Amino acid sequence: MSSPFSSDIPKPVQVNLAPAFPVPAFGDLGKAANDLINKDFYHTSQATLDVKLKAPNGTAVTVKGKQGFDGVTTGSIEGKHTLKPQGTKKSRSSSPKAQNGFIKLLSFMTPLPAPQRTSLYLYIMGFPNGTDLQEKVGLTLRHAGVTITQAWTTASLLDTKVELNDVLAPGAKIDLHNLWNPSKASSAAQKINFAFKNPNVHSRAFVNYAQSSGNIDAIVDVVAGNEGFLVGGEAAYDVSKAAITRYGIGLGYVAPTYSASITSAQNLNIIAATFYQKVNSAVEVGAKAGYDVQAQKASGLELASKYKLDPLSFAKAKINDRGIAALAYSTKLNAGTTLGLGLSLDTQKLNEAGHKIGTSLTFEG
């Protein structure tokens, strides 16, 4: 029976402890400013063509072609497919009995820690071998948000990537990456990437193996954040040398309309600072500055701005400390076609050749 005074008891207030912005990876400190400065400028190639298609089964196919100013044409084709999560089976066990020429000793499906869509399948089988019993043990993961990506480039490189999301816990991810040139038997390179993130921590580990040299190296980075403040670091380790080859640290702050970061990389010898601000719904500005500690001099300064002309078009401009200016314009011609135009000018040598003009065309379907 409820108390007659229950209506006077205040209900507990639910507080959302999750940060307003997800904690980025170490390489993404200053991402907003870096994207504004580096992306959507089309003067880096004479012509670029991207075709993005999606099959009925969800497979995304991307075809890219690029013609450089040196006249060399390169291209690639990539297929990316994410397997749909499968349900789990209830655990079961049975006594040994013959099934299609072999004896099945034990089989069960057990869910791993969250999420529920992840399950681990362990089986032990016995195969009749005369009077003996030959056993086989297997372990299968089925399957935790698996994404398979296969790419091929005109440089004869086969790039295969398998991504396993939420493998052992929410936010845990494993990437298996293999890069191989079929014309060079010893050119294969394997990478295993581990990542874990939650509302306050984003950590990663990259293990690289080069078959040509037999060398193994690893890179570890981590970023922690609270109420918009970010702090992180990275370190690289060479197994053959048994030594740390490089390290760096970084600080950052993220707010709804602006962000700032400062990182020190290459054993704290290169310092880079970034700033980004969304002035209003149509205007964005950003800046990046670098300093070389060993040379004791500035290593670069870039300023960029983006202006949204209308819901389908935008214009961008940037300039660096060497007087190189770049302009870009992008517009959606229709629902699946985007046109980009780019121009690069050396403002200190306007009467000389060396300016660049580029175009980009993207089809999506």
CA distances from 19 to 22, 23, 47, 227, 309 (A): 7, 8, 42, 6, 32
Alpha helices in 21-143 (DSSP H): 31-38
What CA–CA distance (Å, rounded) separates 225 from 253?
9
CA distances from 35 to 38, 304, 322 (A): 5, 10, 20
DSSP 8-state symbol, 22: P
Q: What is the pLDDT of residue 85?
A: 59
Q: What is the pLDDT of residue 256?
A: 92
Give the model confidence (pLDDT) of 247-259 as tens digits.
Answer: 999 999 999 999 9
Q: What is the pLDDT of residue 5?
A: 45
Q: What is the pLDDT of residue 86?
A: 53
Domain boundaries, the chain: 26-54+66-76+151-364, 97-141
Provide the residue type at 314 as one letter: F
Q: What is the pLDDT of residue 20?
A: 59
Q: What is the pLDDT of residue 109?
A: 42
Q: What is the pLDDT of residue 214?
A: 81
150: which residues sit within 8 A by CB, 6+ positions away? 78, 79, 80, 158, 159, 160, 161
Which residues of the chain are under the pLDDT cut of 50?
1-7, 9-10, 12-18, 87-142
- The answer to whether 326 and 342 are in contact (CB under 8 A) is yes
CA atoms within 13 A of residue 83's CA, in its CB half-sphere: 17
Domain 26-54+66-76+151-364 has what CATH class? mainly beta
What CA–CA distance (Å, rounded) separates 10 from 66?
64
Give the model confidence (pLDDT) of 219-257 as tens digits.
Answer: 999 999 999 999 999 999 998 889 999 999 999 999 999
Torsion, Cα 288 293 299 305, to 10 degrees, reads: 10
Q: What is the pLDDT of residue 165?
A: 86
